Amino acid sequence: MDASTRQHWLHGFLDLCLLALLAERRDYGRGLAERLADAGFDDVPGGTLYPALLRLEKQGFVRTEREPSVTGPPRKYYELTDLGHAAMRERRDAWQQFRAAMSTVVEGASRAPNGPGSVR
């Protein structure tokens, strides 16, 4: 499957992924990008990642803090607010329902390999 379709999928779930990673622990932008890559996602371009973080900040889901770094410019750290934790739980529940529905449909289809499309 081509990478752009996978990008498109991740786009729809990126906010939830970031909320979930930040619920685990606070992090800075590149740290989050690395954790997404470690989880098996394709590289998330900066032009997608940072606007998503800005959106979460504007929505009041994360607060930010700059900390000096020994290797370069100060790092901007992101941390979930109480509102962000609540949003994460709500979206996680919605995701679980969605995932169950997807499994029923997609994996149901794979059990009938010849499917109903083979008429004539």
Partner 1 sequence: MTASHWESELRVHLVEAGIEAVEAVELARDAAAEAEAAGLHPDSMYGPAVAYAATLASTVRRASVTAAPLARELGAVVLRVSGVTKAYRRRQVLREVDLTLRAGEVAAIVGANGSGKSTLLNICAGLTRASSGSVERTSRIGYAPQHDGVSALLTPAEHFRLFGAVYGMSPKKSVALGTRLAAQLGWRPRKDVVASQLSGGTQQKLNVVLAELNRPDLILLDEPYQGFDQDSYLDFWDQVFRWRDGGAGVLVVTHMLHDLDRVDHVLELRPVEES
72 contributes a contact to partner 1 by CB under 8 A: yes
Binding window for partner 1 (CB under 8 A); candidates: 1-9, 12-20, 64-72, 92-100: 64-72
Residue closer to partner 1 by CB (options 54, 86) is: 54
Cα–Cα distance list, 28 to 21, 32, 33, 34, 98 (Å): 11, 6, 9, 10, 29
**Tokens matching residue 79:** 């941390």
Q: Which residues bind partner 1 (CB under 8 A)?
A: 29-30, 45-47, 50-51, 54-55, 58-60, 69, 71-76
